[in-house]
Amino acid sequence: MTTLFTADDLTSWLHKPVTEADATVAERVVWGWLKPILKLDERPDPVPDELFGWAIELGGIAHENPGGFTTNTSGPFSVQFDAARRTAILEEVAQSVGAGKPTGSFPPPQRFPDPALPDLPDRFGCW
């Protein structure tokens, strides 16, 4: 099965070690967020660069802040998260999905000339 990113990719992105198990969970969470927007049954193989960019950033969010907190304090340490970033990325994905192509379900095109118009060549004198 194709993955959107690997543990090595996520480690490189976050600049800290990420286990294979944690990367797998993060990748599955990210695919859960992206799949309904992309309207795909399977992860694309190969993963396009644009999708990888969204996925790796979302993977970092899923790994670093699975609860979606805005701040996290542990003793003297405090971390602030951009809670709206995940929403912004998913909105960008949604906007790009429909860009430049028709949306909806369309029947296959009719063969030409259309069999419903058998006299078409005679009327226009093309054939």
Q: Consecutive sets of 10 residues in the chain, 127 residues long: mean pLDDT of each?
A: 92 95 96 92 91 95 81 77 84 80 70 64 55
- Domain assignment present for 106: no
- Domain assignment present for 90: yes
Residue 120: per-residue pLDDT: 52
Domain span holding position 39? 7-101
Beta strand ranges found along the chain (DSSP E): 71-74, 77-80
Residue 77: per-residue pLDDT: 78
Residue 105: per-residue pLDDT: 72
Measured on CA atoms in the order 36, 39, 41, 42, is the torsion positive or negative? Answer: negative
Number of Cα atoms under 13 Å in the Cβ half of residue 4: 27
pTM of the predicted structure, to 2 decimals = 0.70
Number of domains in the chain: 1
